[in-house]
């Protein structure tokens, strides 16, 4: 388990309003793959692989793309709030990005974690998408049919430089906007929500269940491009 999303969020993530939802077309063949992935909910299944992830960086922001092989309902670890009766298809999933603008200033340089939000590393949290097996949420708050994903849960979204992060995640912590998209260390995660419910879907697509420390989120870690330079120079 990396120090990144394994212990970043030992405090419960709180529900709140979303600053950004952006789901869209595939970014196949573009950008860089995750340096590694963590399959906490179903470690033996390996449903999230680096080659099925990508990040495209520019001065304007980052574009994230995660393809999780669709897990069989009830076959993996769920957040405690999701009972057995809700562990069935179709299911809802949300995407979360934990951004560390200056990872060289993390307690362990280029290996950021729980204690690095408020310091010089300038950490922030964003929701970058939400989908179910059948539906997704667009930026205008409309529920739309999700495109065919060929056996994958696909979450795609953008985080713009300067965009306001979630202010309540983690609780009582000062967070920072993305300001170094070309050099930030970014941990992208998929949180499961259990069975689709038309009465709650709009809220669920904006809010997390559990937290990465629960062992029930899939995680892709995109190291800073500067990390390799740091290793080479050491």
| Residue 144 in domain | no
How many domains in the chain?
Answer: 1
Do the Cβ atoms of 163 and 20 come closer than 8 Å? yes
Higher pLDDT, 229 or 95: 95
Q: Is 94 helix (H, G, I), strand (E, B) or coil?
A: strand
Residue 110 Cα to chain centre, angstroms: 18
Q: What is the largest CA-CA distance in the chain?
A: 54
The pTM for the full model equals: 0.82
| Residue 145 in domain | no
Q: Is 226 helix (H, G, I), strand (E, B) or coil?
A: helix
> Which DSSP helix (H) or strand (E) runs through 7?
helix 3-7
Q: What is the pLDDT of residues 43-87, one digit of tens each?
A: 999 999 999 999 999 999 999 999 999 899 999 999 999 999 999
Give the mean pLDDT of 165-178: 87
pLDDT > 50? residue 29: no
| Residue 93 in domain | yes
Residues 6+ apart with CB under 8 A from 136: 23, 129, 130, 143, 144, 145, 146, 205
Q: Residue 135: pLDDT band by 50, 70, 90 thresholds?
A: low
- Of 2-11, 18-27, 37-46, minimum mean pLDDT range: 18-27
Integer Cα distance of 207 and 130 in angstroms: 9
Range of the domain at 14: 3-139+150-233
DSSP state for residue 170 in the 8-state scheme = S
Give exposure, 22-59, as e/b (b: 16+ Cβ within 10 Å).
Answer: bbbeeeeeebebbbebbbbbbeeeebbbeebbbbebee
Find tokens 């309902």 and name the residue.
Answer: 73
Integer Cα distance of 125 and 178 in angstroms: 9
């Amino acid at each position: 388990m990396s120090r990144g999303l394994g212990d970043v969020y030992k405090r419960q993530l709180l529900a709140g309003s979303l600053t950004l939802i952006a789901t869209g077309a595939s970014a196949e063949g573009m950008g860089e793959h995750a340096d590694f992935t963590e399959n906490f909910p179903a470690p033996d299944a390996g449903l999230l692989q680096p080659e099925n992830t990508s990040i495209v960086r520019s001065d304007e922001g980052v574009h994230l793309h995660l393809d999780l092989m669709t897990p069989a309902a009830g076959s993996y670890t769920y957040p405690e709030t999701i009972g057995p009766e809700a562990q069935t298809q179709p299911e809802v999933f949300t995407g979360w990005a934990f951004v560390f603008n200056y990872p060289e200033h993390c307690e362990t340089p280029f290996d950021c974690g729980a204690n690095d939000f408020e310091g010089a590393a300038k950490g922030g949290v964003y929701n970058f998408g939400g989908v179910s097996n059948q539906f997704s949420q667009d930026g205008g708050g409309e529920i739309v049919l999700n495109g065919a994903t060929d056996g994958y849960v696909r979450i795609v979204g953008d985080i713009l430089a300067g965009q306001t992060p979630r202010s309540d995640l983690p609780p009582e912590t000062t967070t920072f906007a993305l300001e170094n998209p070309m050099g930030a260390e970014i941990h992208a995660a998929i949180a499961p929500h259990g069975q689709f419910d038309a009465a709650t879907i709009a809220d669920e697509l904006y809010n997390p269940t559990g937290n990465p420390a629960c062992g029930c989120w899939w995680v892709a870690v995109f190291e800073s491009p500067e990390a390799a330079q740091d290793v080479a120079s050491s």
